[in-house]
């Protein structure tokens, strides 16, 4: 994989996550889990290093930007940087 550059981690809340997994399906499933609470620059492919087991994937979560979620009633809400659900104004009486 290419080296991590300064821009990838230039500010608090930016991160680089490298996933090592047995197969592509597992690596992309982990990426999807990361994309649920945060904005993420996703990888579109995995890599395999000769002589090393499994595949690798690198993605770039931005924990400063919460992803939009929909609750059980179909009301959109946000998740804060800690990964907890924030109440949507429409859900308050």
Which residue, 47, 41, 58, is CA-closest to 4? 58
Backbone angles phi and psi of 62, in degrees to 5: -115, 95
Q: Can you give the pLDDT at residue 7?
A: 73
The model carries a pTM of: 0.62
Q: Can you give the pLDDT at residue 72?
A: 58
Residue ranges, the chain, pLDDT below 70: 1, 8, 67-93
Asked whether the beta carbons of 84 and 63 are under 8 A apart, the reply is: no
Say which residue the tokens 């009486």 belong to. Answer: 93
């Amino acid at each position: 994989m290419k080296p991590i550059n300064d821009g990838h981690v230039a500010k608090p809340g930016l991160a680089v996550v490298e996933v090592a997994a047995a197969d592509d399906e597992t690596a992309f499933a982990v990426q999807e889990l990361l994309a649920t609470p945060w904005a993420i620059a996703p990888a579109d492919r995995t890599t395999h290093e000769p002589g090393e087991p499994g595949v690798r994937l690198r993605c770039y979560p931005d924990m400063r930007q919460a992803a939009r979620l929909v609750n059980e009633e179909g009301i959109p809400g946000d998740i804060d940087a800690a990964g907890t659900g924030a109440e949507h104004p429409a859900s308050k009486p």
